[in-house]
Chain A
Amino acid sequence: MTVKTGILKWLVSCCICFFTCISHARVIEVSVNAIVQSIASAIQLADHGDTVMVFPGIYREGNLIVNKRISLIGIDHPILDGENKFEIISVTSDSVLIQGFHFIDSGISGTVDFAGLKIYDASHVVVEENILERTFFGIYSQHAKNCIIKNNELQSFGGDELQCGNGIHCWKCDSMQIIHNTVKNHRDGIYFEFVTNSIIWRNVSEQNVRYGLHFMFSNDDTYVANYFHHNGAGVAVMFSNHVSMLGNHFSQNWGDSAYGILLKEISDGFIIGNQFDENTTGIVMEGANRIETKRNLFSSNGHALRIQASCMDIVLENNEFIANIFDVSTNGSLVMNSFHRNFWDKYEGYDLNRNGLGDVPFHPVSLYGMITEKNPPAMMLFGSFFTKLLDRTERVMPGLTPENLVDHEPRMKRFLM
Chain B
Amino acid sequence: MNKMLKYIIADILRTKVMIGYMVLLFVISFVVFASESNASKGVLTMMSIVLFMVPLVSVLFSAIYLYNSAEFIELMLSQPINRSQVWIGMYTGLGLSLIIAFCVGFGVPMLLFASNHGWVLFVSGIFLTACFSGIGLLASVKVRDKARGIGTVLMIWIFFAIIFDGMVLFLSFQLADYPLEKPMMIMSALNPVDLARIFVLLAMNISALLGYTGAVFNAYLGSGLGRLICATVLLGWCILPYWISLKWFKKKDL
Contact = CB atoms under 8 A, between A and B. Distances in A.
Interface of A: 254-256, 278, 280-281, 300-303, 323, 325, 371-372, 374-389
A207 to B, nearest CB: 16
A254 B209 contact: yes
A68 to B, nearest CB: 52
A301 B209 contact: yes
B211 A376 contact: yes
Contacts of B169: 371, 378, 381, 386
Interface string B154-175: 0000000110011011001100
Pick the most buried of A300, A325, A383, A387: most chain B CB atoms within 10 A of its CB: A383
Give 6 nearest A-B pairs by CB, closest first.
Answer: A302-B209, A386-B165, A379-B213, A256-B212, A377-B180, A254-B208
Contact of B161 (A256, A303, A382, A385): A385
A280 B48 contact: no
Nearest to B173: A375
Kindly state the interface size class of chain B when it binds its partner: 35 or more
Main secondary structure of the interface of B (DSSP, over half): helix
A385 B215 contact: no
A344 to B, nearest CB: 15
A380 B209 contact: no
A380 B176 contact: no
B44 interface: yes
Pick the most buried of B51, B213, B215: most chain A CB atoms within 10 A of its CB: B213
A383 B201 CA distance: 9
Nearest to A278: B209
B211 A382 contact: no
Contact of B41 (A323, A372, A388): A323
A387 B162 CA distance: 9
Contacts of A384: 51, 165, 193-194, 197
Pick the most buried of A303, A371, A381: most chain B CB atoms within 10 A of its CB: A381
A386 B166 contact: yes
Contacts of B185: 380
Given A375-B172, A375-B176, A378-B172, A383 B47 contact: yes
A376 B165 CA distance: 15
Interface of B: 38, 41, 44, 47-48, 51-52, 161-162, 165-166, 168-169, 172-173, 176, 180-181, 184-185, 188, 193-194, 197-198, 201, 206, 208-215, 217
B166 to A, nearest CB: 6
A5 to B, nearest CB: 78
B162 to A, nearest CB: 5
A249 to B, nearest CB: 18
A191 B166 CA distance: 46
A377 B181 CA distance: 6
B217 A380 contact: yes
Nearest to A323: B41
B48 A385 contact: yes
A382 B213 CA distance: 11
Contact of B210 (A300, A323, A325, A386): A325
A280 B211 contact: yes
Given A377-B172, A386-B162, 11 more contacts: A280-B208, A300-B38, A323-B38, A376-B211, A376-B212, A377-B181, A380-B168, A380-B181, A381-B169, A385-B48, A386-B165
Contacts of A385: 48, 51-52, 161-162, 165
B134 to A, nearest CB: 21
B33 to A, nearest CB: 15
A256 B215 contact: yes
23 contacts: A254-B209, A256-B211, A280-B210, A300-B38, A302-B208, A302-B210, A371-B169, A376-B211, A376-B213, A377-B172, A379-B214, A380-B188, A380-B194, A380-B198, A380-B213, A381-B165, A381-B194, A382-B201, A384-B194, A385-B52, A385-B165, A386-B161, A389-B162
B120 to A, nearest CB: 13
A380 B211 contact: no
